[in-house]
Amino acid sequence: MVFKARLCVGEGAVRFLGAPGSARYSSFVSGADKRVLVAEDDRVTRAILDRVLRNLGYQPILTENGRAALTALVRDEIPLLVTDWNMPDLDGLELCRRLRAPQRKVYTYVIVLTVMSGKSKYLEAFAAGADDFMTKPVDPDELAARLKVGERIVGLQKEMRQMQGLLSICMLCKKIRDGEQWVPVDSYVAARTAISFTHGFCPDCFRKEMGG
């Protein structure tokens, strides 16, 4: 017996996908998320990274420091992060540590940029949770290769989450089994991803509610 689930899409879908032409909307339509979050306090370097990433076919999202980047990542699931090491308020390594907190369920691939070099710096960055390490100035070809690796890693992470995500759903109330409890779908998803929900009616349900 086959059961088909129907998704009722209201204004929440527009808020989630964004307007046509936005980075999130384009990523959804194309099937590949090409967004890269940049955390860089130096205006010139930030502008260079913006141009380089656009030339490579990515959709850069620019922030001026680690705290702004963290806020963006809490609000949205952005797959790739290029961050400077030394920044005011919240530096690149502290940003890495917070992204690797055990309670965070989504994975962001992190490339740390710095003018520093040497084995001790590599080890310090990796210990903080960085996936990769590049010295400034950034070489576009090298950055492109490292971002491709990041895309593969994030893709594998998503596949693993999907494989682990076979869910038991009640046929009547549509709640999901979470251990010994049954919880609403939106509560289950919101607790495990960066997605937030608004609620509305699809046209069919609206007509039913209005008695039409």
119-141: b or e for each residue (b if 16 or more CB lie within 10 Å)? eeebebbeebbbbbbbbeebeee
* Global model pTM greater than 0.85: no
* Counts of helices then strands in the chain (DSSP H, E): 9, 7
Q: What is the pLDDT of residue 161?
A: 67
3-state class (DSSP) for residue 199: coil
Residue 157: predicted pLDDT: 80
Total number of residues shown for the chain: 212
User: In the numeric block, which tokens belong to residue 101?
Assistant: 């907190």
CA atoms within 13 A on the CB side of 208: 5
Each of the 212 residues of the chain gets a pLDDT tens digit; together they read 333 333 333 344 334 444 544 544 444 434 468 999 999 999 999 999 999 999 999 999 999 999 999 999 999 989 999 999 999 889 999 999 999 998 887 889 999 999 988 889 989 999 999 999 999 999 999 999 999 999 999 988 877 766 555 667 887 887 887 777 888 888 877 777 666 777 777 888 877 777 76
For residue 102, the tally of other CB atoms under 10 A from its CB is 5
How far is Cα 135 from Cα 141, in angstroms, rounded to an integer? Answer: 13
- Give pairs for 17-24: CB < 8 Å, separation 24+: 23/59, 23/61, 24/76
Q: Where on the phi/psi map is residue 23: left (φ > 0), alpha (ψ -120 to 50), or beta?
A: alpha
> In the prediction, which pLDDT does 32 show?
62
Distance CA 88, CA 68 (A): 11
Q: Is-contact 83 60, C-beta < 8 A?
A: no
Dmax over CA atoms of the chain, in Å, equals: 71
Peptide bond into 60 cis (omega under 30): no
Contact 132, 110 (CB under 8 A): yes
CATH top-level class of 18-163: alpha beta
Residue type, 210: M
Domain boundaries, the chain: 18-163, 176-209
